[in-house]
């Protein structure tokens, strides 16, 4: 249930993503997830709910539900804080009520106009396009991330939404290699070359949006999810599992970490029950053939520019 990162620290293979979680429901979801067995929480400054997550974690620790050392907590540096890495990390730690992070990621490989530490705004110019700061290099940001490790604030550092080229560059200039690259990947968007490149170079791939976004991305971006795919429904029937469980199991068997997000208690439990079966080789191959190169998380909708172009 764990993978050993190149930093030497262990990361649980299944985590709970807290993106778009309603603040008032976070406490119950996190407490319930810990009771179910989750030991990995994926947060971000940009989700604007670190303080609520922190309250839930504090309760879990104070009541003896779980020890701090038994939880793996990730959060992320927002685009507007690339020139303020240490302050931003300390701000996240304060909100999460933690002394250290297990993993801190650069959320996107782009620095934007600074709007104040912790505000995580995406400032747009008069032209409606994201106000990108061209004076801060990703190399500078990475070396500031490395300082967090030597300061004892962070155990592992990594990247998110980096392609092969940017990941290769990070490997070239890094003193501490990125432990993780968190990317969108699911049966409709497999990104096999990027996954292979990262794994070949000792970087763990974490799959955000591992179920293809489902309702959340349909609402925001008008995309469709692989969960409705007839072929996947047939595979799920074969194993007497849900389509979501099959998709998560596929991700695990690719040696990626999966961090599904849900606000429904029944799904919380369902998404964790993926360790009692294994997909046969032919079913792995079937799912491999379903790749549509179909990205469902499209921030260009809000930024006026497609950073993946």
Q: Six-digit token pair at 84?
A: 């303020």
β-pairing verdict for 2-4 and 10-12 = antiparallel
**Torsion-angle region of residue 77: left (phi > 0), alpha (psi -120 to 50) or beta?**
beta
Q: Residues with Cβ < 8 Å from 223, sequence gap 6 or more? A: 212, 213, 217, 294, 296, 298
Active site residue 100: no
Q: Residues with Cβ < 8 Å from 262, sequence gap 6 or more? A: 16, 268, 271
Among residues 203, 121, 126, the alpha carbon closest in space to that of 169 is found at: 203
In 115-229, where does DSSP find H-type helix? 138-150, 164-173, 192-200, 214-221
Q: Which of 47, 104, 162, 188 is catalytic?
A: 47
Q: 114 among the known binding-site residues?
A: no
Among residues 166, 168, 220, 217, the alpha carbon closest in space to that of 189 is found at: 217
Question: Which residues participate in the annotated binding site?
Answer: 107
Question: Which residues participate in the annotated binding site for substrate?
Answer: 107
Catalytic residues: 47
């Amino acid at each position: 249930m764990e993978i050993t990162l190149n930093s030497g620290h262990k990361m649980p293979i299944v985590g709970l993503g807290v993106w778009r979680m309603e603040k008032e429901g976070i406490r119950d979801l996190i407490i319930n997830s810990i009771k179910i067995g989750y030991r990995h929480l994926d947060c971000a400054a940009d989700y604007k709910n670190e303080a609520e997550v922190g309250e839930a974690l504090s309760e879990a620790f104070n009541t003896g539900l779980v020890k701090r050392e038994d939880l793996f907590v990730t959060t992320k540096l927002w685009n507007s804080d690339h020139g303020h890495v240490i302050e931003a990390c300390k701000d996240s730690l304060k909100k999460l009520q933690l002394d250290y992070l297990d993993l801190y990621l650069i959320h996107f490989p782009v620095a934007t106009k600074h709007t104040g530490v912790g505000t995580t705004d995406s400032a747009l110019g008069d032209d409606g396009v994201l106000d990108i700061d061209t004076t801060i290099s990703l190399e500078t940001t990475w070396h500031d991330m490395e300082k967090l490790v030597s300061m004892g604030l962070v155990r592992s550092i990594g990247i998110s939404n980096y392609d092969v080229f940017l990941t290769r560059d990070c490997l070239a200039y890094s003193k501490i290699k990125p432990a993780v690259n968190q990317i969108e990947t699911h049966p409709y968007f497999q990104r096999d070359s990027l996954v292979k490149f990262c794994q070949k170079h000792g970087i763990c791939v974490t799959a955000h949006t591992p179920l293809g976004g489902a309702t959340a991305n349909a609402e925001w971006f008008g995309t469709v999810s692989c969960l409705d795919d007839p072929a996947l429904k047939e595979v799920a029937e074969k194993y007497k599992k849900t389509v979501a469980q099959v998709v998560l199991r596929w991700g695990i068997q690719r040696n990626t970490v999966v961090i599904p997000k849900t606000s429904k208690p029944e799904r919380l439990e369902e998404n964790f029950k993926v360790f009692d079966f294994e997909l046969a080789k032919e079913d792995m191959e079937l799912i491999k053939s379903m790749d549509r190169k179909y990205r469902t998380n499209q921030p260009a909708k809000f930024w006026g520019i497609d950073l993946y172009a």
